[in-house]
Chain A
């Protein structure tokens, strides 16, 4: 994990089909694997073993996992095989392996939130998402790395060291769900689960070249998700294809009486939308506030190509201004830290986790302060103090109160925009993956990674990131963000699936095949015709 890595060194995809069966299994999509398991062409156990083998081979460099649960994963796979043998009808993801972010409670694995303050805590209960995955027959391979308590955009805030981007091991995989993203992009698992508070699913998905979705707030349960900012935290899927993300979205969603903010409404038809993959007649809005200065040229180039592609597929493109989006970042960095300062007060070293300084000379209050100083990393300390400041009497109206008003204005911007268009689009991130260490001690530079993703957290609507090509200047993936109204999650899948189909046809294969290793930057693999025409918008 601390081996020397040369800039540009990558973690290439496993060999193409035919060479070796285990490699072939790790390259398959979740939908393909589930069909093969249900059809008896392969056992769930063999699928799990293939992925455990890939983790053995790749995770020394990727460091996507904090805990690999090989024995319980094999047991879960065997249980699926036994159910099939007994003639049970298997669910659409039965036997498919998954990488679970270490923010979800699991009774049979440690749950650390990548923090020293929880140590090797073993929760006494499963999160609702964990429980639903188990019920669906999904095989939990282990728990993945993240920024401590989901605060960060790079996984560098993990107490256990950063994860690495499969495209370039010297770069971050994004964050905070960077471990799950690196695992999926690195073919250690076909599916991952993350949480998105300010972009923590979409941003890592974008910089790793995979699909990531923030469902409508309340669409997926927060029960058993260790709280960061409760009015924003949203669990969601990571996958290599839009259909796989939709299947996982459906598996974890739905009303949960254990979460009072869970939405009591039918799950939007996301799987049907992913299969529909049709944008003809759809009105799509481009947000000018999420573009321009400060954005990497290659990111804007790929985004503009995606806009042209959507138009060529029959969508109607219009520009829709959302004037308050430029205040989303400052509002978020008041609201989220305020909620975090309150939520993280529960870590007091009294009932579970770390306790420091309990040597008989210190009072309980001193032990709390010593425990929190020893157990939290710098970013968590910064945010707790920032939130404490924003909520102080005398500052409350000028900071937290004002940020809450901005939140109203951003929600109104979305409502006005969605009267004109069916979905909004933007780049997911202003830049591609940045080098490990570049922003580690510059909080404001790090916060900018969430510039485009934060508005949908503040308003609670659904948003998805889809890879839309590689930036020419660095050969790294670029994400296209698609945003839809509250509870219209199906629309982001419908648009993403159409773009994915057109791009895959143009490229002649999956984007992740462009990861080249062990040395040298990956090169874009557009067919010559598309490259010559600049955008190839008509090839689909």
Chain B
């Protein structure tokens, strides 16, 4: 859907076109500006920021803020920098994404190729869970994690993200597999393949694109999550976003804006990288999650 499938047949005149380009470029600047400000000021010494112009390019280029944000900045009470929290996020994201994608693929396969009475209702229940305000589950979830002994742990966050990611991963695979001809599954059945053989030999080999979409979407969402991280894993197990917020909001001492910006970019880096490398799939995921697939 996101791919440019056809060019419009509408024609525009020269003046109109110039105007269009101007508007489009102005908006491009609007979108780029905050990131530009962050980037430029993350490589300035603090004095240059407080006395100078935020738009100005650095007179003196320094990577000290980056080093500080990464390894020495004060996060909460510990001067650890963001590094341990970066790793927390990584250990949270990778298993959560893998589990969630695998479950989504299996669910999508069942819901399209092994349909049974009431399957659409079940899918609807799963899908609705993507859209609930998570405030509604915070209190019981905190208790549940406590009971399971997972409170304040990365494993607990993995569980939370898997549970609330299943809806989306199932949606992706269900929509993708529903366009996949059911006759192929029937042919494989007649050929004697069982449920899992069909999944492995027929479905998985063609699932490349949707897996990329699903992985990117989950990765971005889970990496960027703040609410669950702040609620269930404060302290040394906090994910990157929570640590960044602690860094930026800390009221003690001088506000080191350049360090804040370096930290913010560090927190954004993984998702930004994914976006730059595979933006096409990211957009496809966004669309599939909103408009029907």
| B partners with A | no
